Structure 1
Amino acid sequence: MKLKRAWKGIAAALGVGMMVSAMGACGAGGADGSKTTLTFLSWNNEQVMRPYIDQFEQENPGIKVDFSYSPPTPEYIQTLQTRLVGNQAPDVFIITSENKADLIKNGYVRDLTNEPFMRNISQANKDFVSHQGKVYGMSVSSWASGIVYNKDLLAKAGAKEVPQTWDGFLQLCKKLKAAGVTPFLETIADGPSRIPDAFMGSQFDRDKVDVTSLIDRRPQKPGSDQREAAAAWMKLYDQGLVTRDTVGISGDDMKTQFINGQVAMICTGPWDLPSIGQAGLKYGMAPMPLMEKGMVNYAQGSPSPAYAIYSHLKGDKLKAAQKFLTFMDGHWALQRSADNGDAITVQGFKAKVKPEYEQVYRTNVQPGHYFLLMNFYAKPDVLTTVRQSETQQLVQGSISLDQWAKAIDDKMASVK
């Protein structure tokens, strides 16, 4: 299947962990010893990016990096847009879910499909920033969520690990509840559940859907597309296995309850593992259960935002920008990012992750078996907002699943 969290947690995961920046070139070092100046717009601050800049300049003494910063996500996108339309475009910049459609449509980003530095990039990372068979960005890392579980609490239901199938997961929740243990908790306050996205990835894989084509479909129908996955997920609430109060529980609240031993399982990503580990719990992290037996396992997850080159660069400017992307795809930069917590997905690079994350990394991250709804539909900002509000009503029981899907589709059809 071709393939920042959109809310607070995703933004955290794609901050320091994903190391996405932007830069460009202006003239090459000439015979008089002058240097090429590369404009570099990043949504990571200078403290984060300075080691990369210094190393790049050391390896390329004829190039000087002109760094600028704007924080993610709305402020960065507005800053970039202002510079693009004002003829002050950075030479390399970030392309991601919220801006890729506009950048590609308006011809601001260079086609990187056949660039040498793209050869080892994971197909899932390419699909993330692809349109009509062309790749417009270089993404070098990814994240995937999973089920974090308290081993001691699972033992009260006679279980050692999380079941591989959704039916098995639901049965485990029932056993835990019968044993007086709160089985599972997720947050709907910070964003829609992660589980339907995981199920949707498996569903699209089963149906051989080219996810890079979803953005071109008219009308956009993400509600209808995810109805099957959402129906399976809602069994948690329909069977009384999870409190409907999740609409008011934040990600931090969820993590705190888990750390305090108040709940057996939560759904989260690698960003929460350090603090959970510091609590001294006996815990593990398992891949998302399969919606149906026989499917390919997918998690909710996403590639990191990608580096894009301004489409109008030529000559020495273009060469310098290409050198920067080549550097960021090289061993030094990848190792630095891995040391900072990135799950590197570049082929040939051996990444080391936390032991608890290893199974999810191998099952989902390395093969690119992850899916994030907002990455593949038009107007992801609108989609995120409407899906959030409608999902809260669905969980509270104030609308039906059909009403949920229709409300999302109607909203997407109303925007241009």
Structure 2
Amino acid sequence: MRIPRSLGLAAAVLAAAGSLAACGSDSGSGDDTLHVVGWKGGGAEPANVAEINAAFQKANPDIKLDFSYVPPNDVYLQKVQSQLLAGDAADVIMVDPQKVQAWGKSGYLADLGQESWAGGISPTVKSFVSYEDKVLASPMELSPVGVYVNLDILAKAGITAPPTDFPSLLDALGKLKAAGQPGYSFPDAQGYMAEFVMLMSAATTVYQDTPDWDQQFMKGKVTFPKSFTEPLEQIEQLGRNGYVDFQNAVGTDETTTGQPDFIAGKSAFYAGGSWLAAAMKKASFKLAFIPWPGGEAGSKPSAMFFPGTMWAVNARGEQQDAAKRYVDFWSKSANLAPFLSAEAAISPFGGAGADSDPLLATMVEAYADKRFALFPANTWNLAEPETKIRSLLQNFLLGKASVSDTLNGIQDAAKPAGS
């Protein structure tokens, strides 16, 4: 998931990335080596990539594999995009839905639509790996985005199970407050917590009735002011009822403060992706992970999934056959399984994967019931609009804009050019 960083930090880490990459070049250098680059497989997220690479090397002894890790977000984008522009990028490149759109438009990515795995991609995921109907990447995971729950804190307030709808969430927060227990943690200094909650709520309140809402929006058939009022009103109610101090929230960092505080037992609820599960499981309390309980009383919530990392082949790479064999290897369920387990994600090839993890039970159930939506990272929520939307939502949290004004702003930020 994209998490903004200051340019100063990005520059500093970029320098570090350069020295790291020197240990194993990730650029196509004219030799017989297959060069692969990714932002997972090192640093804080090894994700069992080394294990899978070792298995690939064993199964393909004729291919010399060189994998390079580059830190994520701005660092990765700047480094790999400059290499693509110069024509010396790696043969296989880790991408996400936004990069598929941007680099697909620039012609940097090879068409993989004829590969054997392409027909097995879940239909709901296919548009995220495609540009102009060409399959340009092989998806690696569907990562649930939901609410982590400290069940021990709930028990102290007499709450026996996590909430499943919005009235029961408000009831739980009221009981926690009355019992003097911490409630909902809503750190939003980086801007993505409000974005997460808006979209998680929309999974139930918008996408459940209109699964193709994103496509309709891109065609000008639906609008944010008419469709997304309920998600923002739910956020607003958390503040109005005194369950979240949004003035404090906007000054609290999601990563450096919010997540560690939740793990330390300082809040009952914390929203985040399944990629945080490994860290969350280290907490000393009983843990649950649920979809945002955004529906009316008695309803079942829909889950939000992020179509995360993907493998693409450099259209100008020298090792086309070896690159396609590498991507094909990752598409096999047995080979992909260690990655899915490490990421607490499910497979985009039909949904099998880390479904044996008890923490993902409600997410797997929602996926099987087709109660889910996919994070709109390939339509209106691209990088530039997303930055504007996060800023608009922060102003909303601070009381500087109404629900209506905020939705009108999001509409302007997200609408397709020329519309």
Could you give the per-residue CA deviations for residues 336-376 of structure 1, whole angstroms, max 9, x where no partner exists?
31453442414485535542333234324995824324443
Deviation at 1:119, TM superposition (A): 3.6
**How far apart, CA to CA, are the structure 1 residues paired with 2:374 and 2:283?**
30
Q: Which residue of 1 aligns with 2:286?
A: 282
Deviation at 1:74, TM superposition (A): 2.0
**How far apart, CA to CA, are the structure 1 residues paired with 2:350 and 2:201?**
26
Deviation at 1:326, TM superposition (A): 1.2
Deviation at 1:139, TM superposition (A): 1.2
Deviation at 1:394, TM superposition (A): 0.9
Q: Which residue of 1 aligns with 2:295?
A: 291
**How far apart, CA to CA, are the structure 2 residues paired with 1:366 and 1:76?**
36
Structure 1 residue 43 corresponds to structure 2 residue 39: yes
Deviation at 1:274, TM superposition (A): 4.2
**How far apart, CA to CA, are the structure 2 residues paired with 1:277 and 1:53?**
26
Paired residues of 1:57 and 1:65 also in contact (CA < 8 A): yes
Map 1:145-156 onto structure 2 (within 5 A): 145-156=145-156
Which consecutive unaligned segments of at least 5 residues does structure 2 have?
A: 6-24
Structure 1 residue 359 corresponds to structure 2 residue 356: no
Residues 388, 259 of structure 1: CA spacing in aligned structure 2 closer, same or farther, 3 A cutoff? Answer: same
Any idea what SS the aligned residue of 1:278 has? coil
Any idea what SS the aligned residue of 1:39 has? strand
Map 1:7-406 onto structure 2 (within 5 A): 7=4, 36-44=32-40, 48=46, 49-190=49-190, 191-193=192-194, 194-202=196-204, 203-209=206-212, 211=214, 216-217=218-219, 226-244=228-246, 245-251=248-254, 252-292=256-296, 297-311=301-315, 317-345=319-347, 346-347=349-350, 349-351=352-354, 354-364=357-367, 369-377=372-380, 380-406=382-408
Residues 224, 313 of structure 1: CA spacing in aligned structure 2 closer, same or farther, 3 A cutoff? Answer: farther
**How far apart, CA to CA, are the structure 1 residues paired with 2:108 and 2:216?**
20
Any idea what SS the aligned residue of 1:167 has? helix
Paired residues of 2:208 and 2:372 also in contact (CA < 8 A): no
Residues 210, 242 of structure 1: CA spacing in aligned structure 2 closer, same or farther, 3 A cutoff? Answer: closer
Deviation at 1:385, TM superposition (A): 2.0
**How far apart, CA to CA, are the structure 1 residues paired with 2:165 and 2:130?**
32
**How far apart, CA to CA, are the structure 2 residues paired with 1:161 and 1:383?**
37
More displaced 10-residue stretch of structure 1: 399-408 or 366-375: 366-375
**How far apart, CA to CA, are the structure 2 residues paired with 1:76 and 1:329?**
23
More displaced 10-residue stretch of structure 1: 291-300 or 62-71: 291-300
Paired residues of 1:104 and 1:136 also in contact (CA < 8 A): yes
Residues 183, 313 of structure 1: CA spacing in aligned structure 2 closer, same or farther, 3 A cutoff? Answer: closer
Deviation at 1:298, TM superposition (A): 2.9
More displaced 10-residue stretch of structure 1: 362-371 or 101-110: 362-371
Q: Which residue of 1 aligns with 2:13?
A: none
Residues 264, 71 of structure 1: CA spacing in aligned structure 2 closer, same or farther, 3 A cutoff? Answer: closer
Could you give the per-residue CA deviations for residues 54-89 of structure 1, whole angstroms, max 9, x where no partner exists?
332322232223444432222222222222222324
Any idea what SS the aligned residue of 1:343 has? coil
Paired residues of 1:124 and 1:303 also in contact (CA < 8 A): no
Paired residues of 1:25 and 1:320 also in contact (CA < 8 A): no
**How far apart, CA to CA, are the structure 2 residues paired with 1:234 and 1:338?**
35
Residues 133, 186 of structure 1: CA spacing in aligned structure 2 closer, same or farther, 3 A cutoff? Answer: same
Paired residues of 2:214 and 2:376 also in contact (CA < 8 A): no
More displaced 10-residue stretch of structure 1: 233-242 or 36-45: 36-45
Letter paired with 2:180 = G
**How far apart, CA to CA, are the structure 2 residues paired with 1:205 and 1:219?**
17
Q: Which residue of 1 aligns with 2:9?
A: none
Deviation at 1:138, TM superposition (A): 0.9
Query: What is the root-mean-square deviation in Å for CA atoms of aligned residues?
Result: 3.7
Number of residues of Structure 1 aligned to a counterpart in Structure 2 = 389
Residues 370, 207 of structure 1: CA spacing in aligned structure 2 closer, same or farther, 3 A cutoff? Answer: closer
Provide TM-score, normalisation by structure 2. 0.78
% identity of equivalent residues? 24
Paired residues of 2:182 and 2:266 also in contact (CA < 8 A): yes
